[in-house]
Amino acid sequence: MAEFLLFASRYHFECQSCHFFNSPPRISKSSATDHHWIPLDIGCLKLNTDVTIEDGSLTVGIGIVIRDSVSLVLGCASVKIHWYFSPHVVELLALLEGLKFAHESGL
């Protein structure tokens, strides 16, 4: 876990160093158009994660859902962490927890 936190901290720092905080966001014409969902290839899985940070506490909630190519839910889980990290690190932790869940579930 300590190695992951070090990796996440470095990754977060690199991401922040790439952003220009005083420049307006760039929106390309293609990003403003409707995009339709394209089904996954047969045999592929999709991992979705989401996080919530409780105001005034050191609690982070992580939600995990894994679906197959026809959108059937193969597994879902939630994880509660009693510690506070930056939102970027929490998102990375959610992905780590999702991958661990998929691996432990044999997916």
Q: Is residue 33 over pLDDT 70?
A: no
CA angle 99–76–106, rounded 5-degree value: 50
Helix axes 2-18, 87-104, angle to 10 degrees: 130
Would you state the pLDDT for residue 17?
46
Q: Give the span between the Cα atoms of 95 and 83, in whole angstroms.
A: 17
Average pLDDT over residues 84-104: 88
Task: Considering the domain delimited by 2-104, tell me its CATH architecture.
Answer: 2-Layer Sandwich (3.30)
Which residues touch 81 (CB under 8 Å, ≥6 apart)? 59, 60, 61, 62, 93
Residue ranges of the domains in the chain? 2-104
Whole-model pTM: value is 0.61
| Residue 83 contacts residue 60 (beta carbons within 8 Å) | yes
Would you state the pLDDT for residue 104?
92
